[in-house]
Structures are given as structure tokens and as C-alpha cells.
A = this chain, B = another copy of it.
């Protein structure tokens, strides 16, 4: 394990402890179990670790930022639980979603409580900038809700342009990652210039991260990716690749794309490993290739990642900064 991976893990453990601490609150049982279930699913806690590293990168301590790191993770999980309800998702990280495992009411309340616990944690941060810190967090909450509303609106529309899609993922994903870096910078006592650099780093990284996700759906190795290749295509998701291909394609290919990329009607069998599914994915991927949309997405990912790394140059040269750079590179290299 590299020095950076070790550093990342140490920060992650610090956050895990703060997350566990809050589960001792004497909630009614279903609520407590639901929160525990969601937080136990783990994940890489990238957003949390980003808060801690950002604080260190401007001369602060990881420990002082750990409550904010936990708070960001709680906010993120609040959005996942509610989004899963809205998207009718059955599984998340290989386990049933909260509304499947329990019911809609539990999912609603668990989400609400996770958000409340997020504020509760954030308020344990000792900082003269506590009001700014809370404003940044609240703005992040509002934007992620607005991004989700746009996402739902786009599902109903047939004329979403790639530019609109960018704005949606910026609100839904990039701003929350930008917020994480910004919170760390504020807690660590960074200058206005440093905090702005961290925010830019998070924002560009977040956008690259989401685009990379769209790309991995069609180019990843099936096993490493852990989910079925072409899942977005089979579920009719309007990804950047699809929207950009629609924009670039001939009328005939556009019609083909609209026919191929759509959700199976309710009740219809939809085995993603069936021969028909594989053929559909292959046909769409061929169209994506014909119009160069994968290459365009890759260029956009590279461009955003480069801009993120460039923003780091405005910070002092520290081990934390080196780990942030490593984080950006490893997200770009990831296969899952």
C-alpha cells in the first residue's frame, strides 16, 4: 500500500469513529436500525477524507475536521436514501435499499434523521468560522436537492441538451465534493485564496468523477466494475454519452439511439446478461464510437482532472497536498 493510500485510510478511520459515535442516540428502534444499516454500508468515504485532507493542506489538523468529515458523509447518505426512493432503486452497494428492506416511511424518516445528524455533527466543529461553515453546508444541501429535481425533470423530457446535463451533475455531484474541500479549507484556517483553490479542486474533480462514471458503464471490465456493462443503456438513463450522441448523430442514428436506449416496460423480462441485452449494448456502444462521444467524454475527464490538479498549485507544498493529487489521479485511473 502506498504512503498516500495509508494516509487516506487513517483519515477514513477517524471519520468512521465519529460516525459510530452518533449511533448511540436513543432513537426509536426502526430509525436507529435504519441509520445504522445505511452507515454500515461503508463505501470509500471519499468526500469525508477530502474534508480532512483539505484542512491539513492549509495547515489545520485532520482531527479538528473529523466532525465535518462525518457530517458530509451523513449529508451524502441522506441524499442516497431519498434518491433511491425517488428512483425506485431496489439495491445500493449490493444490499436492498432502505425502502425495500423496511418501507417508504422508514426511508423517509431515516433520510431526514441522517440530515439532522449531519448538522448535529457539523455543529461540534470548533471554529471561529462556524457560521460560514454552516452556510456552505446548507448551500450544498439546497443544490443537491435542486440537482435531483433537475434529474427527475430530465427523465420526463426528450430534449435535454448536453449542457443542461452538465449543469445537473454539477449540482448533484460536483458541488457536494467542492463543498467538502471548501469546508476543510475553512476549518483548517485557510486564506480566501486557498479556500477558493480547494473549492475549484473539488468542483473539477467532482465533475470528472461523474463523467468517468458514465464512461465506466460502457468501457469498464465487467468483473472489476462489479456491475453489468451497459446498465445505463438498458435502464434508459440519459447520460452524457447518450445526450451528446443524440446531438451529433444523423437523423437515422438518432432514431436508432432513442429506440435502443430505454427502460424495459414494467413487467417485461430484462435480464442484462441475455443475448438481446448484450446486442443492444453493443449496438449503442458502436454508435457512441461512431460519433466519438467516448473520446469526447475522456477528453472532458482529462481536462477537468488537469484543472483540479492545477488548482492545487495554489496551496503550500505539504504531504496532504501530495495525497490530494494522488486522490485525483486514482479516481481517474479507477475501474470501478
Contact = CB atoms under 8 A, between A and B. Distances in A.
Interface of A: 25, 27-31, 82, 85-86, 104-105, 108-109, 111-113, 115-117, 119-120, 123, 130-131, 134-135, 138-139, 141-142, 145-146, 148-150, 152-153
Contacts of A86: 104-105, 108-109
Nearest to A78: B112
Contacts of A134: 119, 123, 134
Given A82-B109, A123-B138, A131-B131, 15 more contacts: A25-B142, A28-B150, A31-B145, A31-B149, A85-B108, A86-B105, A86-B108, A109-B152, A111-B112, A115-B115, A116-B142, A119-B138, A119-B141, A120-B135, A120-B138
Nearest to A140: B116
Contacts of A30: 149, 152-153
A52 to B, nearest CB: 21
A217 B108 CA distance: 28
B108 A108 contact: yes
A198 B105 CA distance: 33
A231 to B, nearest CB: 21
Given A28-B153, A119-B134, A148 B109 contact: yes
A145 B109 contact: yes
Q: Which 7 A-B pairs have CB atoms at the shortest separation, nearest pair first?
A: A28-B149, A116-B142, A119-B138, A116-B141, A86-B105, A31-B149, A113-B145
How many copies the complex holds: the figure is 2
A31 B131 CA distance: 26
A139 B121 CA distance: 11
Given A31-B146, A86-B105, A146-B31, A119 B116 contact: no
12 contacts: A25-B142, A27-B146, A31-B145, A85-B108, A86-B104, A86-B108, A113-B142, A116-B138, A117-B142, A119-B138, A120-B139, A123-B131
A175 to B, nearest CB: 13
Contacts of A145: 31, 109, 112-113, 116
A109 B112 CA distance: 11
A126 to B, nearest CB: 9
Q: Which of A25, A28, A111, A153 has the most CB of B within 10 A?
A: A28
A116 B115 CA distance: 10
Nearest to A127: B131
A298 B195 CA distance: 58
A153 B145 CA distance: 28
A115 B85 CA distance: 18
Residue with the highest number of chain B CB atoms closer than 10 Å, among A30, A116, A123, A134: A116
Contacts of A111: 112
Given A28-B150, A30-B149, A108 B82 contact: yes
